[in-house]
Chains A and B, each alone.
Chain A
Amino acid sequence: MVAGLSRGTLESLALNVPNPSKDPRSSTNTAADDGVPGHAYRVLVLAFLVGGLLVCRTAIGLTYYTQMGPGPGFFPFWAGALLSLFCLMLLIQSFRAQIPAFDIPEKGPMLKIVVTIAAIAGFGLFIERLGFVLTMFGVLLALLYVHGCRMLPTGLVVALTGSLGVGFAFSRWLGVFLPPAPGAVLQFIGL
């Protein structure tokens, strides 16, 4: 995806492909570039390594081989072992070569990220209690506000279209079941 394009990688393109350096999203820092230690990278690799070992352990508990051939544990065992092996290579490599740094977002973007996750979690928590339309209306209002849409009329139109409009289109036209609102709140339009 576009976000991941790095200037350095494109510069190294042997085919002399143009450099998208003007893409503001195209910066992948390395720990060595900006002095940020690569702890996050190593922690992530270590987590995958431990995960791989856990998969191996779980796979041993399953049947590895039967009279008919490989059992349920056969494939996960080898996959877990390979994951651990590759992660071990990455971990060793991380002490010898440049590794990518995890730059923590600034306050504004961090707030957007936290609210986005919280809004989706809210969607998960409330969709079956409050129904699709009410839940999505709240989620969209929160997201529009935090992403910088400060004009109330615009926000209301988008939130209403996204909740009521999409709910109506999906349940009426596409025949998809969406959890209804409790009581008789929106029963008059079948939502």
Chain B
Amino acid sequence: MELFGDFIAGFGIALTPEHLFYALVGCLIGTLVGVLPGIGSAGGMVILLPLTFQMEPTGAIIMLAAIFYGSYYGGTITTILMNVPGEVASVATMQDGHAMARQGRAGVALSIAAIGSFIGGTLATLALVLMAPALSEMALAFGPPEFFALMVLGLATLAFLAGSSMPRALAMAVFGLILGSIGTDPTMGSPRLTMGFVPLLGGLDFVPVVMGLFGLSEVLINAENPTPVLTKKDIKGLYPSVRDFRQSAGSIVRGTGLGILLGLIPGTSQALASFVSYGVEKAVAKRPEEFGNGAIQGVAGPETANNAHANAALIPLFTLGIPGSPSVAILLGAFIINGLAPGPLLFEQHPEIVWPIICSMIVGNLMLLILNVPLIGMWVKILQVPTSILSPVIVLFICLGTYLVNNSVFDVWVMILFGLLGYTLRKLDFPLSPIALTLIVGPLMENAVRQALSISRGDVSILFRSWLACGLLAMAVFVLTLPLWRLRAIQTRGALGRDVED
């Protein structure tokens, strides 16, 4: 009953004109970010972070969360109309979505994707409402060894899914851990790995690093291979028929379930959810030969799954304080910037902030459904803006966003350094998402392991004593050794590669 009361009270705050405005702006910006090929949700969120600096915490996070889930709606538009995925999570939709567009059914494909995304996103948010408080209470039973084990499992999953080589992903994850340990030691107060740079005493800031790795490297890659500009713009027949609805209903239900389930596991991505959903839809289809030639189930399932995942991925963040993907890590960064610590105590200590954010996600998903279909014409026009204008504008926001974090030119140099590093790493097929994730998770992980070893006076067996920690670590070992066992899943690892960067 208390849960229901909090939920209703959250709606009261989320529906104030100010918060509705932030959600609307976030949804529009998120869709724009998704529409523009090449800017992923992580890059888009980090570029637009400065817009939230002067806002109150609830408004700031409502807007960033709306950018996050809005980008997955936008990604579909580019995918279906241009056959270029706006987001990697939309790749699974590409073939059937674009085939529908070629058959003159682009409007139907976009509408069904928007409807599926709305249903998946909303049900995943309701799952968050129902599960988060219970999970938070369970998480209170977690001690340092359990937290450490959970983070190891998250990193193992990420390493398994990121990139075409697990050693490369692991190397990048450990590199992120090292970056996260730069600064003043939290216990003894002594400087670590600062190389004499005074601004590094406070630690390496997340924003310049991510802005460089994701934002600047994207601009540099774009300079080599510009994304195409949309030339055709005729879209007819926006609304699906009853037959279309009937054919898509099962796919939407299955996509929702899969997205929510996978969203609960840290380290999985929206792309994984959409790929799995596509596979499931093809497997259960009565006429699988239609897949690839404009099967509406090939649009409905993956699009529903990726949005359900995007919303469900916030469950581990809200309950355990562990981000599952770089985009969620940026959201965690926004919480921290605003003086909030996601985790088991968030619902207890800040219900006035967390419930309106959750409620605004339901409102935001509804806004996206109502706005996106009629606004398709506007997004199509934006797709016609040449990259010669878009790239400089992106650089403007990268510079602004980096400088404004601390009003420090040092951050600009850090961003350039990580931009060049990100560009080189991407060209050499190294995944970037493990760096971003471990940069955030690293200090939490170090804290957990140091606390555990302090409690046990240096006895390492404390990390395996409880059945929960032991089970989580065993799962991590299982995930890390999967390639050695030559399971079928090994083939999908590379394929799901860079998806986790979104």
Q: Residues of A at under 8 Å CB distance from B?
A: 1-6, 8-10, 12-20, 22-25, 28, 40-41, 44, 48, 51-52, 55, 58-59, 62-63, 65-66, 68-76, 79-80, 82-83, 86-87, 89-90, 93, 100, 102-103, 105, 109, 112-113, 116-117, 119-121, 123-125, 127-128, 136, 139-140, 143-144, 147-149, 154, 158, 162, 166, 170, 174-178
Judging by beta carbons under 8 Å apart, are A22 and B279 in contact? no
Q: In the bound complex, what is the Cα–Cα distance between A24 and B83 (angstroms)? A: 11
Judging by beta carbons under 8 Å apart, are B453 and A69 in contact? yes
Judging by beta carbons under 8 Å apart, are A69 and B164 in contact? no
Q: In the bound complex, what is the Cα–Cα distance between A124 and B90 (angstroms)? A: 36
Judging by beta carbons under 8 Å apart, are B174 and A82 in contact? yes
For residue B202, give the distance in angstroms from its CB to the closest CB of chain A. Answer: 15
11 additional contacts (CB under 8 A) given A70-B458, A90-B171, A170-B404: A8-B494, A24-B228, A25-B227, A40-B428, A55-B193, A86-B170, A128-B409, A139-B399, A144-B389, A148-B388, A170-B400
Judging by beta carbons under 8 Å apart, are B492 and A13 in contact? yes
Judging by beta carbons under 8 Å apart, are B399 and A136 in contact? yes
For residue A119, give the distance in angstroms from its CB to the closest CB of chain B. Answer: 7
Judging by beta carbons under 8 Å apart, are A28 and B429 in contact? yes
Contacts of A144 in B (CB 8 A): 388-389, 392
Judging by beta carbons under 8 Å apart, are B404 and A176 in contact? yes
Judging by beta carbons under 8 Å apart, are B458 and A166 in contact? no
Judging by beta carbons under 8 Å apart, are B214 and A22 in contact? no
Judging by beta carbons under 8 Å apart, are A174 and B91 in contact? no
Our pick among B51, B88, B167, B171 for the contact of A174 (Cβ within 8 Å) is: B51
A9-B497, A116-B223, A170-B50 known; A1 vs B428 contact (CB < 8 Å): no
Q: Residues of B at under 8 Å CB distance from A?
A: 37-38, 40, 42-43, 50-51, 53-54, 83-88, 91-92, 94-96, 164-165, 167-168, 170-171, 174-175, 177-178, 181, 185, 187-188, 190, 192-193, 214, 216, 218-225, 227-228, 275-276, 278-279, 282, 291-292, 386-389, 391-393, 395-396, 398-400, 403-404, 407, 409, 412-413, 415-416, 419-420, 423-432, 442, 446, 449-451, 453-454, 457-458, 488-489, 491-492, 494-498, 501-502
Contacts of B416 in A (CB 8 A): 117, 120-121, 124
For residue A88, give the distance in angstroms from its CB to the closest CB of chain B. Answer: 10
Nearest chain B residue, comparing its CB with the CB of A66: B188
Judging by beta carbons under 8 Å apart, are B94 and A18 in contact? yes
Judging by beta carbons under 8 Å apart, are A23 and B495 in contact? no
Contacts of B419 in A (CB 8 A): 117, 120
Nearest chain B residue, comparing its CB with the CB of A162: B396
Contacts of A71 in B (CB 8 A): 185, 187-188
Nearest chain A residue, comparing its CB with the CB of B431: A4
For residue B429, give the distance in angstroms from its CB to the closest CB of chain A. Answer: 4
Q: In the bound complex, what is the Cα–Cα distance between A64 and B428 (angstroms)? A: 35
Our pick among B92, B219, B278, B495 for the contact of A12 (Cβ within 8 Å) is: B495
Contacts of B396 in A (CB 8 A): 136, 139-140, 162, 166
Contacts of A65 in B (CB 8 A): 458
Q: In the bound complex, what is the Cα–Cα distance between A4 and B330 (angstroms)? A: 21
Contacts of B174 in A (CB 8 A): 52, 79, 82-83, 86
Our pick among A20, A121, A127 for the contact of B403 (Cβ within 8 Å) is: A127
A17-B91, A79-B177 known; A25 vs B221 contact (CB < 8 Å): yes
Interface centre among A112, A140, A147 (most CB of B within 10 A): A147
Judging by beta carbons under 8 Å apart, are B492 and A68 in contact? no
